[in-house]
Amino acid sequence: MINALWLRILKTAYRKDPVVSFLVTMGAVDAIIGGAEASWSLFGLGMGTIGMAIVLRLWLLRRPHVEQATAVPEYYLPPNSSRLQLPILNRNQKHLP
């Protein structure tokens, strides 16, 4: 139950911001390895990486979004094509090869 919830949260995070999620993962691994081996420089590097990733995420959220121009619909027929009369097809006509 908890594993499925954790997996769903991770998938959502990676889809939204893959760069920030990668930096958080990399920093967390560094911090865990540094804490387990009592390497405080590696632990500090990992925590610093996590902090920078969080600041980057907050900066991306606060940045004004650039509005994309609305797409102009593409028409395959010219606008006056509805005035053209199509020939009437008869099923009874025999076509010679």
In a domain, residue 1? The reply is: no
Q: How many domains does the chain have?
A: 1
- Confirm if 50 and 27 have CB atoms less than 8 A apart: yes
In a domain, residue 55? The reply is: yes
In a domain, residue 46? The reply is: yes
In a domain, residue 56? The reply is: yes
- Residue 83's pLDDT band (boundaries 50, 70, 90)? low
Which of 65, 67, 27 has its CA nearest to residue 46? Answer: 27
- Residue 13's pLDDT band (boundaries 50, 70, 90)? confident
Give CA–CA dist 24/17, Å, rounded: 11
In a domain, residue 6? The reply is: no
- Confirm if 33 and 39 have CB atoms less than 8 A apart: yes
Q: Which is more confident, 25 or 78? A: 25
Q: What pLDDT shows up at residue 30?
A: 93
Is the pTM higher than 0.75? no
- Structural domain harbouring 58: 17-62
Tell me the residue ranges of DSSP E strands in 1-97.
none
